[in-house]
Amino acid sequence: MKNKSIQFEHLGAMDYKEAWDYQEKLFKGIVDQKIQNRKNEQNGEEQVSTPNYLLFVEHPHVYTLGKSGDRNHLLVNDEQLKEKEATYYEINRGGDITYHGPGQIVGYPIFDLDNFFTDIGKYLRFLEEAVIITLQEYGIESGRIDGLTGVWLDHIEQKNPRKICAIGVKTSRWVTMHGFAFNVNTQLDYFKNIVPCGITDKDVTSMQTELGRALDMKEVEEKLKGHILNLFEGTLV
């Protein structure tokens, strides 16, 4: 049975490790239910529909390295991290190193894709599309670059391509965790301490940088959340 209802929760400003632990708890709950459902099916017992969660959060300054990333892409040492009031974690998502911090919308969809579609590529494209449509509402043209995950500006001519949203996910048994980091009013100087996503020849940007003004975070979040729900044909609970 497919359950397209999505439970939304805004975690506010939360330490990265605390949010990661919370993700893991929700993720494990869904996976465990799927395992139990398989046993129930074999025993002729009733199955229980699995939930889906969408978490928005804003982290203090933190650098995270995906399992396929290179530690050398962090360009500062432990002492410099302390000076910048930043932390560092090696985590279990795909991708290389990225930055999270104030002024950035970090989204963690913890979806059972069996409730929607079992296609990781389509899942990633839908996350990108939600950001692309949100940016269009503010007059910012964006899109994709072949072979690179995320959302980019100047993605066609690529004279000065710059990333505005990074994506890195983990999936198991078609259950997702981790997600995207969308630069709204982000302090871009913090990206100078890393090789973002391991890409050396492209820049990063934010909505604030592109528009020359700070954005209302709640307004952007509401638009983005709406587009995610529409693309996945989900209902909010």
Tally of domains in the chain: 1
Active site residue 165: no
Reported as a pLDDT band with limits 50, 70 and 90, residue 30 is: very high
For residue 26, the enclosing domain spans 5-232
Kindly state the average pLDDT of the residues 54-68.
95
- Whether 237 is in a domain gets the answer no
* CATH number, domain containing residue 146: 3.30.930.10
Question: What's the whole-number average pLDDT of the chain?
Answer: 95
pLDDT of 1: 72
pLDDT attached to residue 23: 97
**Catalytic pick from 26, 132, 169, 197?**
197
- pTM: predicted TM-score of the whole model, two decimal places: 0.94
The pLDDT of residue 158 is above 90 = yes
Residue 13: pLDDT band (50, 70, 90) is: very high
In a domain, residue 25? The reply is yes
List pLDDT tens digits, range 162-214.
999 999 999 999 999 999 999 999 999 999 998 877 766 689 999 999 999 99
Is 86 inside any structural domain? yes
pLDDT confidence band for 95 (50 / 70 / 90) = confident
Three-state secondary structure along the chain?
Answer: CCCCEEEEEEEEECCHHHHHHHHHHHHHHHHHHHHHHHHHHHCCCCCCCCCCEEEEEECCCEEEECCCCCHHHECCCHHHHHHCCCEEEECCCCCCEEEECCCEEEEEEECEHHHCCCCHHHHHHHHHHHHHHHHHCCCCCCEEECCEEEEEECCCCCCCCEEEEEEEEEEECCEEEEEEEEECCCCHHHHHHECHHHCCCCEECCHHHHHCCCCCHHHHHHHHHHHHHHHCCCEEC
